[in-house]
Amino acid sequence: MVKIRWLGHAAFVIKIKGKTIVVDPWISGNPACPIKPNELEKVDHVVVTHDHGDHLGDSIEIAKRDKAKFIAIYELALKAKDEGVENTFGANIGGWFEVDEIKYLLTPALHSSTIGEPVGVMISDGEKTIYHAGDTGIFKEMELLGKMYRIDVALLPIGGVYTMGPYEAAIATFMLMPKVVIPMHYNTFPAIKQDPSLFKKYVNKIAPKVEVKILKPGEEVEL
Ligand code: NI
Ligand code: MN
């Protein structure tokens, strides 16, 4: 069983194969996050898609607190090590790698960053696969990702300005063909105000087989 809880913006807690993983844990200062950093349960892995503050967030502190493995693009993992994180796993865009029996794969993301390349991440227990796109614009290789991997849940940004908006994310959904899509990276602050029902409307038209699950921050889904 896999559980996915949205903490607002791009932050998710994923429970898979007995492990607790947090992705892009921006908790302090995240206006959409319903919890405080000390209310976050103990995590095993901290995954960060890129070094922008709204993704790096509290990741270093959490990794130190829980002696969790910090998983990111190679250069960002080095930075975490420099800042005193004991367990880091630096990888790069490419094939699957395993950390404590959880399978990970870093994907391209069409975005910017200061340290290392920005990425998306696939997380799998061998049965279920979750794709967190990170911050990204739409790119044609999403079609290839959809053909190569059977994605159960795609977490896609829809806020616009810094990432895809609702229309681009609906086309991305069509290319990725997940069973379920969950919109993220919107309504955190005024610049990325969006109506997620517009995204749902587009997906229902463009990729009607895909189920759209609109979560409230703090809400959890189970697969
Ligand atoms: Ni960013
Ligand atoms: Mn962002």
CATH number at residue 57: 3.60.15.10
In a domain, 38, yes or no: yes
Note if the pTM is more than 0.95.
yes
User: Which pLDDT value is given to residue 2?
Assistant: 97
Residue 220 lies in a domain: no
| Phi, psi (rounded to 5 degrees) for 81 | -60, -45
**Whole-Å CA distances, 222 to 60, 180, 203, 208, 213:** 27, 11, 21, 21, 11
Q: Say how many CA atoms lie within 13 Å of 81 toward its Cβ.
A: 12
CA of 148 to the centre of ligand 2 (A): 26
Tell me the CA–centroid distance for residue 164 and ligand 2, in Å: 11
* Domain annotation covers residue 194: yes
Ligand nearest to the CA of 119: 1
**Cα-to-centroid distance, 140 and ligand 1 (Å):** 20
Number of other CB atoms surrounding residue 194 within 10 Å: 19
Instruction: Give the Å distance between the CA of 52 and the centre of ligand 1.
Output: 5
Neighbours of 115 (CB within 10 A): 17
In a domain, residue 158? The reply is: yes
In a domain, 223, yes or no: no
Q: Tens digit of pLDDT per residue, the chain (223 long)?
A: 999 999 999 999 999 999 999 999 999 999 999 999 999 999 999 999 999 999 999 999 999 999 999 999 999 999 999 999 999 999 999 999 999 999 999 999 999 999 999 999 999 999 999 999 999 999 999 999 999 999 999 999 999 999 999 999 999 999 999 999 999 999 999 999 999 999 999 999 999 999 999 999 999 999 9
Range of the domain at 187: 3-215
Q: Is residue 221 part of a domain?
A: no
Q: Is residue 151 part of a domain?
A: yes
- Which ligand gives the minimal distance to the CA of 51? 1
Number of domains composing the chain: 1
Residue 187 inside a domain? The answer is yes
CA of 56 to the centre of ligand 2 (A): 9
